[in-house]
């Protein structure tokens, strides 16, 4: 398995992957140590509670969603970020059409 993307990754050339009902993902770049993904969610889309060993930082580019990390839920919108620690359960509900940039460390091998 290739452990890194190309140096330059052009979003228009990246394959969109379904990631649940009303959710699409693009893996924009990665190495063994990190990965950045674009997540698009239609209003009402749900990413069910899950956990993974990767640390995650989500930045809301546009839209608004309810983000649950552990037992705490907050509404976040464009300009806000959410930090998720390793193995911490988290879930998202898109309150509007939403675009999120997710960074993971280390990379999510299950995404490539």
Q: What is the pLDDT of residues 33-57, one digit of tens each?
A: 999 999 999 999 999 999 999 999 9
| Paired residues of 62 in beta bridges | 99
* CA–CA separation, 61 and 81 (whole Å): 9
Tokens read off for 90: 């988290």
Residue 24 CB neighbours (<10 A): 15
* CA–CA separation, 11 and 72 (whole Å): 33
Q: What is the pLDDT of residues 53-72, one digit of tens each?
A: 999 999 999 999 999 999 99
SS3 of residue 12 by DSSP: helix
Residue written as token pair 């009902």: 21
Q: How many helices (H) and strands (E) does the chain have?
A: 0, 10
* CA–CA separation, 53 and 45 (whole Å): 24
Which pTM does this prediction carry?
0.92
Non-local (6+) Cβ contacts of 29 within 8 A are 5, 9, 35, 36
Q: Give residue 4's pLDDT band: very low, low, confident or very high (50, 70, 90).
A: confident
CATH number assigned to the domain with residue range 16-111, chosen from the 4 options 3.30.420.40, 2.60.120.10, 1.10.150.120, 3.40.50.300: 2.60.120.10
Domain positions in the chain are 16-111
């Amino acid at each position: 398995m290739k452990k890194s993307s190309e140096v330059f990754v052009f979003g228009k050339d990246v394959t969109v992957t379904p990631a649940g009902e009303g959710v699409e993902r693009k893996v924009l770049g990665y190495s063994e140590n990190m990965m950045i993904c674009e997540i698009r969610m239609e209003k009402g889309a749900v990413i069910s509670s899950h956990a993974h060993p990767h640390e995650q930082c989500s930045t809301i580019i546009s839209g608004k969603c309810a983000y649950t990390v552990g037992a705490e839920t907050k509404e976040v919108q464009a300009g806000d970020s959410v930090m998720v620690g390793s193995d911490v359960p988290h879930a998202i509900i898109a309150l509007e059409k939403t675009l999120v940039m997710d960074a993971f460390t280390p990379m999510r091998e299950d995404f490539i």
